[in-house]
Amino acid sequence: MVSGATAFPLEVETRYLVRGLAPFAGHAPSVARWIGRVHDGLADTGHRYPFLAYGTDWLAFAHLTIAVAFWGPIRDPVRNVWVVQFGMLACLGIVPLALICGPIRGIPLGWTCADLSFAVLGLVPLVLAYRHIRALEGG
């Protein structure tokens, strides 16, 4: 849900992030430069081609819609185990996407590694949930 809700105001969020990171820019200059570049790109694109943000609106919608699907395993885990399986596959899908598209799009390696961490951070609770659901099926 958070990913979806935060995908709408990207330009505003990055503006605040640039301002918030300014006092620490000397400690992590490459991060500050990258965030600044991302904000500049969003601001310039938003000014010149605002219709492109419609793509991130749909991205946000997709995140929110997928989040709703996860209510199924909370309500009836055994019947909705497929949602957890889908989530695990999505986490695994992060790996090739980040490793292939990141370099093509000029994403810094550190940022690609941060994206890859979502595969691990998402997979761990889903695997635990999957194991618990399988135990419920057997019991």
Note the pLDDT tens digit of each residue in 72-114.
999 999 999 999 999 999 999 999 999 999 999 999 999 999 9
Return d(Cα 47, Cα 12) in angstroms, integer: 13
Q: Does the pLDDT at position 139 exceed 70?
A: no
Cβ-contact 10, 35 below 8 angstroms = no
- The tens digit of pLDDT for each residue in 5-38 reads 888 999 999 999 999 999 999 999 999 999 999 9
Give pairs for 3-10: CB < 8 Å, separation 24+: 3/60, 3/63, 4/60, 4/61, 4/62, 4/63, 4/64, 4/65, 4/67, 5/60, 5/64, 6/60, 7/56, 7/57, 7/59, 7/60, 7/63, 8/56, 8/57, 8/60, 10/42, 10/53, 10/56
Q: Does the pLDDT at position 2 exceed 90?
A: no
Q: Does the pLDDT at position 47 exceed 80?
A: yes
pLDDT at 77 (0 to 100): 97
Mean predicted confidence (pLDDT) in 43-69? 95
